[in-house]
């Protein structure tokens, strides 16, 4: 199938009711597909989370304030995808400014699960997960600050990679910079292997694999993590929310203001020290393993009604349930891969540089999906 024909098929598969995309420029997609670059992603259609800058294509960050924003240049990650031959299919829906996991955006609607339209796929990279799960594309770019790639991947039944920290995040709107990371949603392991340019995988039988809660009990993420998280959210968004309140939803304003309500420099410094000590303790506890296997989410996908409920208590309960397992990788700065299995979604995580091992173990645990 030619790249142009594949682009036509993908564009025709977009179902607006699923809420996967905020912006698509079919003419631009077809032009790009008519002149594809050589590279490992030649002709690959890639959906891009609308938190990431794309030159010539509207980038809203999922909020009303930037509804007419057109970046002057690509984020480096997008430029690298294009240089490898990928074609940007469109900009995907997300929780407003990536601050949430409900899979509902008050400005652009819910990100519906193609397998059950009464539920969302969670967030914040929900639109990217929907695009892959619906068969529109096999690869989509996302971001992950507390689980925003892995949660939607798990709930949509696709693969999701949270990249290790240290990649260039220029042109990606921050949320909590110490924990922000890039990530990919994919139809299968091979797509993740291709985008990471990993030629071969190790034999999983040669790796030391520890199951969290069975083989190893790492120390739990300390509450101080959220002290740092909230301080950073306030530092990024506090001034804008105060000076331009009309540009944001009431829920986003409320959560940012709540994050900043107890910001204290001394408390933040202490919290960072506690979290640093926790990282050392965690590393020591899992030192006997190359890769860890853990759950991704607890319970079912949120209903559309729950995801869009404006009651702060409902949203707090949803976040508490969905964020039980994923923030650890962000606090560590480690890569992690969420993947489907017959027993439900799982994730594998390991230190930076273990991406090939993660993919090998995920394939072994989950089967070759």
CATH of the domain at 330: 3.90.1300.10
- Annotated catalytic residue: which of 102, 124, 128, 354? 124
Maximum alpha-carbon separation in the chain: 60
Provide, rounded to the nearest whole percent, the portion of the chain with pLDDT above 70: 99
- Which residue stretches of the chain have pLDDT < 50? 368-369
Contact 114, 71 (CB under 8 A): no
Query: What's the pLDDT score for residue 1?
Result: 77
Residue 71 resides in a domain: yes
Instruction: Write out the two tokens for 131.
Output: 């695009």
- Within 10 angstroms of residue 342's Cβ, the number of other Cβ atoms is 6
Range of the domain at 96: 1-202+291-369
Residue 215, phi then psi, degrees to nearest 5:
-90, -25
- 49 catalytic, yes or no? yes
pLDDT value at position 120?
99
Q: Is 64 in contact with 250 (CB distance < 8 Å)?
A: no
Residue 119: inside a domain? yes
Question: Is residue 68 a part of any domain in this protein?
Answer: yes
* pLDDT score for 369: 38
Q: Is 2 one of the annotated active-site residues of the chain?
A: no
Domain count, the chain: 1
Strands 336-339 and 346-349, how do they pair? antiparallel
Active-site residue 148, yes or no?
yes
| Three-state DSSP class for residue 50 | coil
Catalytic residue among 148, 308, 354, 363: 148
Closest CA to 99 of 323, 303, 321: 323
pLDDT digits (tens, 9 = 90+) for 179-231: 999 999 999 999 999 999 999 999 999 999 999 999 999 999 999 999 999 99
Closest CA to 290 of 201, 185, 367: 201
Cα dihedral: 224, 227, 233, 239 (round 10):
-160
34, part of any domain:
yes
Residue 231 lies in a domain: no
Domain assignment of residue 277, yes or no: no
pLDDT at 262: 85
């Amino acid at each position: 199938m030619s790249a142009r024909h594949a682009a036509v098929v993908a564009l025709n598969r977009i179902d607006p009711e699923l809420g996967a995309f905020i912006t698509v420029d079919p003419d631009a997609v077809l032009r790009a597909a008519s002149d594809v670059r050589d590279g490992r992603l030649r002709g690959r259609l890639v959906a891009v989370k609308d938190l990431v800058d794309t030159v010539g294509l509207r980038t809203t960050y999922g909020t009303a304030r930037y509804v007419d924003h057109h970046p002057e240049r690509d984020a480096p990650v997008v430029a690298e995808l294009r240089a490898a031959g990928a074609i940007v299919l469109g900009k995907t829906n997300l929780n407003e400014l990536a601050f949430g996991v409900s899979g509902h955006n008050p400005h652009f609607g819910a990100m519906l699960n193609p397998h059950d339209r009464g539920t969302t796929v969670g967030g914040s990279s929900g639109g990217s997960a929907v695009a892959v799960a619906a068969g529109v594309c096999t690869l989509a770019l996302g971001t992950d600050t507390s689980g925003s790639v892995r949660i939607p991947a798990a709930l949509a039944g696709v693969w999701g990679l949270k990249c290790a920290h240290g990649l260039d995040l220029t042109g990606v709107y921050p949320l909590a910079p110490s924990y922000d990371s890039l990530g990919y949603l994919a139809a299968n392991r091979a797509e993740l292997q291709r985008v990471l340019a990993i030629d071969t995988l190790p034999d999983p039988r040669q790796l030391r694999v520890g199951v969290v809660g069975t083989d190893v009990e790492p120390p739990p993420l300390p509450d101080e993590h959220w002290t740092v998280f909230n301080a950073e959210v306030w530092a990024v968004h506090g001034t804008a929310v105060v000076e331009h309140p009309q540009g944001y939803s009431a829920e986003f304003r409320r959560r940012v203001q709540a994050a900043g309500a107890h910001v204290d420099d001394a408390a933040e410094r202490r919290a960072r020290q506690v979290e640093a000590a926790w990282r050392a303790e965690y590393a020591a506890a899992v030192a006997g393993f190359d890769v860890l296997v853990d759950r991704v989410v607890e319970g079912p996908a949120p209903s559309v009604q729950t995801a869009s409920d404006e009651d702060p208590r409902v949203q707090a309960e949803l976040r508490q349930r969905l964020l039980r397992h994923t923030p650890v990788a962000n606090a560590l700065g480690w890569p992690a891969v969420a993947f489907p299995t017959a027993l439900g979604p799982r994730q594998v995580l390991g230190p930076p540089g273990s991406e090939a091992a993660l993919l090998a173990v995920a394939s072994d645990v989950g089967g070759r999906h």
